[in-house]
């Protein structure tokens, strides 16, 4: 019998316990012996199926020689960081779904894991149940990765989909996402783009091999997306989606950001709806590869965690190394990236043309004009729009 521990019994932690139990036969066949959850670290004891496994004393896990892998599903940084370090120091493998911790401290925790000859794995931290980090670092290892972008937050994609399809209000759609277990404990991180930001940083770290600090990455959420813009975009053959995007620039420099984009409906990512996520990776040998699946929720996320647990147990000590350089210079402001821009202004086509030169008008009524600019640096687009009464402005994914 192989024993593991879970730290934190929220949506994902509970999912891990359920997957270990429900798929016991399959897991046992693959590992050659059964896998069981021995201990669950909680802050407050509560009744339920796992009450007999609960402890509030981390040392019971760290000092238990039978526990070989610890699954951290506490979330956030402080306690999760402390316990992860102590578990690695105690020689336990650690698996996590905690994107904030990986984005901020992943480099350091990977170095500690390496020093202790154990693994720190975090497939579940990006894309929930979608296998993306392993394919990026292993299956695409022969490529130079030039760009990664995607719909990386299930909650906001669910909210946008519900609002567009059923006309649901923002608050009701958010409540539904929370009830389904998609949202963060504080959904501000979803809605304001911070969750997507942490995930795009992890993807950029792995794709480009150097730290991209979440604090440096501009993050804009979905609060400025109105049904009016969604409708104008749809009639013109576009969808509006929240994207995380990371690009390799000339000379090995790199950039990343989070913002809503207009995406042409011919791009398959424009059709990704509900809680589904999709990640597009551009390799210099493969071209574009797209990964698609459920990006949040109890069982999909737990599936990625338990697969990482199994990998820790199966890996030889010489497991393929993942990691990146802690050096974070080489990051450039995405304001220099060129793309077309969508604007809706209170004003006429003539005013739009005076500011931007040639524009493609998508809608003009009620004193408002919605239009697309030609390709411009984001910084320049903002400067040119400064004299206009801008009601909405988004990038186009070109
Ligand atoms: N709140 C996150 C989301 C959970 O909605 O995508 C998965 O990381």
- Could you read off the pLDDT of 326-345 as tens digits, one per residue? 988 899 999 999 999 999 99
Among protein residues, the one whose CA lies closest to atom 8 of ligand 1: 296
The mean pLDDT values, 10 residues at a time, for the chain of 398 residues are 97 98 98 98 95 98 98 97 98 97 97 94 97 96 97 97 90 95 94 98 97 97 95 96 97 94 98 98 98 97 98 74 86 95 98 98 98 97 97 97
Report pLDDT digits (tens) over 106-149.
Answer: 999 999 999 999 999 999 999 999 999 999 999 999 999 999 99
Q: Which residue's CA lies nearest to atom 7 of ligand 1?
A: 296
Question: Would the CB of 244 count as within 6 Å of ligand 1?
Answer: no
Distance between CA 108 and CA 102 in Å, rounded? 9
Apex 89 CA angle, 87 and 94, nearest 5? 40
**Token pair recorded at residue 269:** 């990512």
- Minimum-distance ligand 1 atom for the alpha carbon of 124: 8
CB 303 within 8 A of CB 129: yes
pTM over 0.95: yes
The verdict on the CB of residue 75 being under 6 Å from ligand 1 is no
From the CA of 275, how far away is ligand 1's center (Å)? 9
Q: Where are the alpha helices (DSSP H) in the chain?
A: 11-22, 24-31, 59-62, 78-89, 99-115, 133-134, 154-166, 170-179, 188-191, 194-208, 227-235, 298-314, 349-356, 378-385
Alpha helices by DSSP H, listed for 32-169, are: 59-62, 78-89, 99-115, 133-134, 154-166
- Nearby residues of 342 by Cβ (< 8 Å), 6 or more positions away: 229, 233, 238, 262, 362, 370, 371, 372, 373, 392, 393, 394, 395, 396
- Note every long-range contact of 171-177, with CB atoms under 8 Å and residues 24 or more positions apart, other chains counting: 177/275
Q: Is 300 in the pocket of ligand 1 (CB under 6 A)?
A: no
Gyration radius of the chain over CA positions: 22
Sign of torsion over alpha carbons 107, 113, 114, 115 = positive
Does 295 sit in the ligand 1 pocket, CB within 6 Å?
yes
Q: Which of 155, 203, 244, 258 to mutate to test the pocket of ligand 1 (most atoms within 8 A of CB)?
A: 155
Cβ-proximal residues to 147 (8 Å cutoff; 6+ apart), any chain? 245, 246, 247, 248, 280, 281, 282
Check if 190 has its Cβ closer than 6 Å to any atom of ligand 1. Answer: yes
Active site residue 294: no
């Amino acid at each position: 019998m192989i024993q593991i521990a879970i730290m934190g019994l929220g949506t994902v932690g509970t999912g891990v316990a359920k997957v270990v139990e429900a798929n016991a036969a399959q897991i046992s066949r693959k590992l050659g012996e059964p896998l069981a959850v021995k201990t669950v670290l909680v802050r407050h004891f509560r009744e339920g199926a796992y009450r007999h496994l609960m402890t509030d004393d981390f040392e019971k896990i760290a000092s238990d020689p039978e526990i070989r892998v610890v699954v951290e599903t506490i979330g956030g940084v402080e306690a999760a960081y402390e316990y992860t370090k102590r578990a690695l120091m105690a020689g336990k493998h650690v698996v996590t779904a905690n994107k904030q911790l990986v984005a901020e401290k992943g480099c350091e925790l990977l170095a500690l894991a390496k020093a202790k000859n154990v693994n720190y794995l975090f497939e579940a931290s990006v894309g929930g149940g979608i296998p993306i980090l392993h394919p990026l670092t292993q299956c695409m290892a022969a490529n130079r990765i030039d760009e990664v972008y995607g719909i990386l937050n299930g909650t906001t994609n669910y909210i946008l989909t519900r609002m567009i399809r059923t006309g649901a209000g923002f608050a009701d759609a958010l409540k539904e996402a929370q009830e389904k277990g998609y949202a963060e404990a504080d959904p501000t991180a979803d809605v304001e783009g911070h969750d997507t930001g942490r995930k795009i940083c992890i993807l950029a770290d792995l794709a480009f091999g150097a730290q991209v600090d979440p604090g440096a990455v501009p993050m804009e959420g979905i609060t400025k997306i109105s049904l009016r813009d969604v409708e104008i975009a749809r009639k013109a053959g576009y969808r509006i989606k929240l994207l995380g995007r990371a690009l390799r620039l000339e000379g090995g420099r790199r950039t990343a950001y989070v913002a809503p984009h207009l995406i042409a409906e011919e791009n398959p990512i424009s059709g990704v709806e509900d809680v589904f996520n999709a990640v597009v990776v551009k390799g210099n040998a493969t071209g574009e590869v797209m990964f698609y699946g459920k990006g949040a929720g109890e069982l999909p996320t737990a599936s990625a965690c338990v697969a990482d647990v199994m990998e820790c147990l199966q890996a030889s000590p010489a497991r393929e190394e993942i990691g990146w350089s802690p050096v974070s210079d080489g990051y450039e402001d995405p304001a220099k990236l060129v793309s077309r821009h969508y604007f809706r202004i209170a004003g006429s086509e003539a005013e739009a043309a005076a500011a931007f030169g040639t524009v493609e008008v998508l809608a003009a009524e009620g004193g408002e004009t919605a239009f697309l600019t030609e390709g411009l640096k984001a910084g320049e687009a903002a400067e040119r729009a400064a004299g206009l009464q801008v009601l909405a402005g988004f990038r186009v994914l070109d």
